[in-house]
Amino acid sequence: MKRAILVNGVPASGKSTIGAGLTEYLLKAGIAAVPLALDTVKEGLFVHVGAGDRAHNRMLGRASYHAIFDTVAAFPDALVPVIDAWHGFQPESVLREHVARAGIERVIEVWCRVSPETAAARYRARAQGRHRGHPPASYADELFELAKIARPLGIGPVVEIDTEKPLDPQSFDTVLNLLNA
């Protein structure tokens, strides 16, 4: 059975940190976890296709997302992708179509919970060091509003992690137990 873990949350919610830690934890537990991050793919496209306006950035995000799930479709069932992305940036139906096309039968969502204030502050703090294809620091104001309403998608079991607190090791144990259920 093909399984996948969706590390979900608004930008600057701690997805990359949680995704990396979870991947390492799963590897140590004997699970062949493979990290896949939307920003990694998108930044590669920025280099070769170029960075543009907001519409261009969103188009590259959709293309990167599609490519990630096409890649997962080619995985043997023993590999477990840990997909780090703001999965709410498109309609839920798009994610469901990608999951079906990739042949994923079991989805576990790790929701990175963060306050609007923290998400906006983190985004502003890192904006200068990010590839110019990403939205500028001023996006933090929009992100603040987004973080107020963002919720997990719930297309499978959801494990919520408060990324403003030290990581509770039980969270990763819960993901592992759900993965093996």
- What pLDDT does 127 receive? 83
Q: pLDDT for 14-40, tens place per residue?
A: 999 999 999 999 999 999 999 999 999
Domain 3-174 in CATH 3.40.50.300? The answer is yes
Q: Mention every residue, 6+ apart, whose C-beta is less than 8 A from residue 63.
A: 45
Confidence grade of residue 133 (pLDDT, cut at 50, 70, 90): confident
Q: List, as one string, the DSSP characters of 98-121.
A: HHHHHT--EEEEEEEE--HHHHHH
CA dist., res. 82 & res. 20, Å (int):
9
- Which among 158, 161, 157, 179 is positioned nearest to 170, based on CA atoms? 161
- What pLDDT does 125 receive? 92
pLDDT beyond 80 at 139 = yes
Give the domain ranges of the chain.
3-174
Q: What average pLDDT does the structure give for the chain?
A: 94
- What pLDDT does 20 receive? 97
pLDDT beyond 80 at 131 = no
